[in-house]
Amino acid sequence: NMNFNEVIAARANQIMGLAQDAPGGVTANDHVNLAQSTNDCVPTGIKIACVLAWPALQEAAQLLIKALEAKGRETTDILRTGRTCMQAAQPMTYGQLFGGYASMVSRALQDVERAVHGLCTVPMGGTAIGTGLGAPEGYREVIEEALSESLGLEIECAANAFDGMQSADGFARMSAELRNLAAACAKIAADLVILSSDGASGIGEILLPAVQPGSSIMAGKVNPVMPMSIQQISMIVQGQDLTVSLAAQAGQMEINHFEPAMAQALFTQMALLTAGLPQFAESCIAGLKVDEARSYENLARSFAVSTVFLRALGYKKVAGLAKRAQLEGRPLSEIAAEEGLLDADQLRDVLRGATGA
């Protein structure tokens, strides 16, 4: 704070053609810091910096949301196996999967936005400890208006300056919502890693764009580098959230001395997400393809069809089919077709009807 004050004072004297220590010149303490303190200026500056960084992060996340929504529309009719506990559960579509992802990120983004609005309440006017000693009457109203006008934001001073000076809950809330946004994106990334596992030994339903040679020793290998990049960004963001949480609770008496650590953590979180989410959208989501035939094959061969068959064939018949399928090591749907219960078209119709799409 005082470094800024000294630079501003020096520049003011330079403009006026005065030596730095000339009588009648501008001084860092008496003039630039008038009615202010490091203790109310620094947290205000950190809050405003986060608010100003928000539009870029918002745009980055919206690019990802739009990419997920577009992929959902593109894959709206592709059947897949819904999985719980990494086991086949019930049929759904890839459109539903990507639509759910888009909604999840959108919700997390809205929560971040609410936290950003909270940062527009600042402790200016509290001066050193919240009493406002050194600030003239009416200063809070003047500084509110000046900050709002110069920044194009709706800035307001904390209703209770003592609360505003000592509490870091605004920073903790912002960090927590950034953590949640990162966690949502990492969850999507983790799913894509699994779904893109090679068709010979894994699920193999999603084909990710190759953004670089996959391996220095295994020719033709395509690694899920973009999803894994997002996972690592999320790890860092969540680690920084712990830093903010620890710093927020470490405040002592009338102020929190650990705001620089919180500032560094918040700026890192926002910068990583702002840079990473558009890359994830453009270099991964937009270009990925779903192997429709493979996805349907996995579904038709899975025991996810057993719950769907209950309505069409009844419990007793399905139980018998399931028992035979286990004994013979064959798909339940294949045995049902063999017994003339459902042909291929009927099977597809039954599975699609179960998705609710």
Active site residues: 215
Residue type at position 35: A
Q: Which residues make Cβ contacts (< 8 Å) with residue 183, sequence separation at least 6?
A: 234, 238
The crossing angle, in degrees rounded to 10, of helices 304-313 and 292-301 is 70
> Residue 153 gets which letter from DSSP?
S
Q: How many helices (H) and strands (E) does the chain have?
A: 13, 6
Scan for tokens 């999967």, then name that residue: 97
Task: Decide: helix, strand or coil at residue 81.
Answer: strand
DSSP string covering 164-189: HHH--HHHHHHHHHHHHHHHHHHHHH
In contact, 277 and 313? CB cutoff 8 Å:
no
Residue appearing with tokens 């001395």: 257
- Per the listing, tokens 């049929």 go with 91
- Residue pair 88/332 in contact (Cβ under 8 Å)? The answer is no
**Amino acid identity for residue 250 in this structure:** A
Could you give the C-alpha distances from 54 to 2, 61, 153, 154, 257, in angstroms and in order? 27, 11, 12, 14, 25
Q: Is the dihedral of CA 344, 347, 353, 355 positive or negative?
A: negative
Strand, coil or helix: what is 120? coil
Q: Which residues contact 166 (CB under 8 A, 6 or more apart)?
A: 130, 251, 253, 254, 255, 256
Residue type, 312: A
In angstroms, the CA 127 to CA 41 distance is: 8
